[in-house]
Chain A
């Protein structure tokens, strides 16, 4: 049986790790390469980097970060943010990332999913989804809508439909972020997570809202997630990955304990 994965997420802006609340007020919290190595040693199962660099001319900085990370850590890691073409994907994968994630670009141009899957294999292509809870309607029957720009722009696309569509197009995994829960540390959006996870046959990484180990237990059991993304709770040293894993293991969740 697969272990449930615990995945620290590093938001990187111009080569530095930052942390914001609901995509606003970012503050510098460290060197991404150093942080990645630390989490690798602490038992992270995977690491996610999200490049929030505003201008495209700073993209080379991210490629350099990816290259340096790949020399230090020997677990899978993915890179998202600003990836718009198959060539962007290739650059990140060649620099040493295991997977790339596409979010806004996939909504605007869904063909990037099959193109990426054909070029590199579905296992490389992660669909990032930013989702907000809305009133159920004819257009948004699940009551969860796709959003971009950190939640400021509603896309008129049903999240449940989009998850299934992306799977059909060749996405190998979904990283599902609840904009409502993101940065709150009040727990993951369990209803959304189980809704999507049960509808697709590819792994779902739950994102947004982790504040304590119980939140991870909830999303990995009731929420049916295959993996849980964490940020603030480990970035600020409130919890350590190995303690989170011990807690989950005691509660009967299968996690990787030897590393």
Chain B
């Protein structure tokens, strides 16, 4: 069973629907027993980092996720879930879970691409350049686009954690992989066929990087 972590941070039903469509049993849950028994974990989220961390702590989910990570369970972060996995977010000056060394930064303003002032949030379809092979991105064609909605972006301390890069005024890590964890800034559950492919790969992944 795949546990989709429920911490009030929205957008859980679309992740659940996508995983079900792919044919994997899953459960939206915040129960310790479910999370401990799950074979893998999806950590989604839409909202603000400060509130999300507060909710996670209040529900005791911070420690459960940390334990699952240290125990080697495959974990997939999505959007806010990805940001929360890093050590610190500039959003609400938040200390996060710290599973992956790195920070989360706000897009600088004005954000320019040539003469064009870019809008924030970064919302819509954008390319992800895969910079190193990873099982979760197996079969994803070069130049594939994913759906993004965010104003903050992940900055892992070590470039070797980066799997995917996306350009929006600057180049940021849109996919990060570290040990048994993959963290996506985009929404695979809203990224059409290619997004479903990534979710499907994750649902089969053993948690080893290669």
By a CB distance below 8 angstroms, the chain A residues around B120 are: 201
Q: How far does the Cβ of A210 sit from chain B's closest Cβ, in whole Å?
A: 19
Residue A240 at the chain B interface, CB threshold 8 Å: no
B191: which of A71, A75, A94 is its contact (CB, 8 Å)?
A75
Residue A259 at the chain B interface, CB threshold 8 Å: yes
A74: which of B121, B168, B192 is its contact (CB, 8 Å)?
B192
A228 to B21, CA, bound (A): 29
A236 to B143, CA, bound (A): 31
B119 with A202: CB separation less than 8 A: yes
A74 with B124: CB separation less than 8 A: no
Residue A150 at the chain B interface, CB threshold 8 Å: no
B190: which of A74, A226, A257 is its contact (CB, 8 Å)?
A74
A173 with B13: CB separation less than 8 A: no
By a CB distance below 8 angstroms, the chain B residues around A242 are: none
Chain A minimum-CB-distance residue to B149: A123
By a CB distance below 8 angstroms, the chain A residues around B13 are: 70, 94, 96
Residue A40 at the chain B interface, CB threshold 8 Å: yes
Residue A1 at the chain B interface, CB threshold 8 Å: yes
Residue B30 at the chain A interface, CB threshold 8 Å: no
B46: which of A70, A96, A121 is its contact (CB, 8 Å)?
A121
A226 to B117, CA, bound (A): 13
| A1-B113, A258-B141, A259-B193 known; A226+B124 contact, CB < 8 A | yes
Q: Is the interface of B mostly helix, strand, loop or mixed?
A: mixed
| A172-B123, A256-B125, A258-B143 known; A1+B192 contact, CB < 8 A | no
Q: Is the interface of A mostly helix, strand, loop or mixed?
A: loop
A258 to B117, CA, bound (A): 26
A259 with B192: CB separation less than 8 A: yes
Q: How far does the Cβ of B200 sit from chain A's closest Cβ, in whole Å?
A: 12
Chain A minimum-CB-distance residue to B20: A71
A98 to B14, CA, bound (A): 9
Residue A138 at the chain B interface, CB threshold 8 Å: no
A120 to B8, CA, bound (A): 11
By a CB distance below 8 angstroms, the chain B residues around A40 are: 192
A75 with B17: CB separation less than 8 A: no
Within 8 A of B (CB), among A86-141: 93-94, 96, 98, 120-123
A172 to B46, CA, bound (A): 14
Within 8 A of A (CB), among B1-43: 10, 13-14, 17-18, 21
| A96-B17, A121-B46 known; A226+B119 contact, CB < 8 A | yes
Residue B47 at the chain A interface, CB threshold 8 Å: yes
A98 with B190: CB separation less than 8 A: yes
Residue A203 at the chain B interface, CB threshold 8 Å: yes
B145 with A74: CB separation less than 8 A: no
A71 with B17: CB separation less than 8 A: yes
A2: which of B122, B190, B191 is its contact (CB, 8 Å)?
B122
| A76-B147, A98-B14 known; A3+B191 contact, CB < 8 A | no
For A3, A227, A257, A258, which residue has the most chain B Cβ atoms within 10 angstroms? Answer: A258
By a CB distance below 8 angstroms, the chain B residues around A96 are: 13-14, 17
Residue A5 at the chain B interface, CB threshold 8 Å: yes
Q: How far does the Cβ of A5 sit from chain B's closest Cβ, in whole Å?
A: 6
Chain A minimum-CB-distance residue to B110: A201
B119: which of A45, A70, A98, A201 is its contact (CB, 8 Å)?
A201
A226 to B120, CA, bound (A): 13
A3 to B166, CA, bound (A): 12
| B 137-179 binary contact with A (CB < 8 Å = 1; else 0) | 0000101110101000000000000000001100000000000
A11 to B130, CA, bound (A): 39
Sample of 7 further A-B pairs with CB below 8 A, known A1-B113, A201-B117: A3-B125, A5-B124, A71-B17, A74-B192, A74-B193, A123-B123, A258-B144
Can you list 8 pairs linking A and B with CB atoms under 8 Å apart?
A2-B124, A74-B195, A76-B147, A96-B17, A203-B124, A257-B143, A258-B143, A259-B193
Interface residues of chain A, those whose CB is within 8 Å of chain B, are 1-3, 5, 40, 45, 70-71, 74-76, 93-94, 96, 98, 120-123, 172-173, 201-203, 226-227, 256-259
Would you list the 7 A-B pairs with minimal beta carbon distance, nearest first?
A: A2-B124, A3-B125, A256-B145, A256-B125, A123-B149, A259-B192, A76-B190
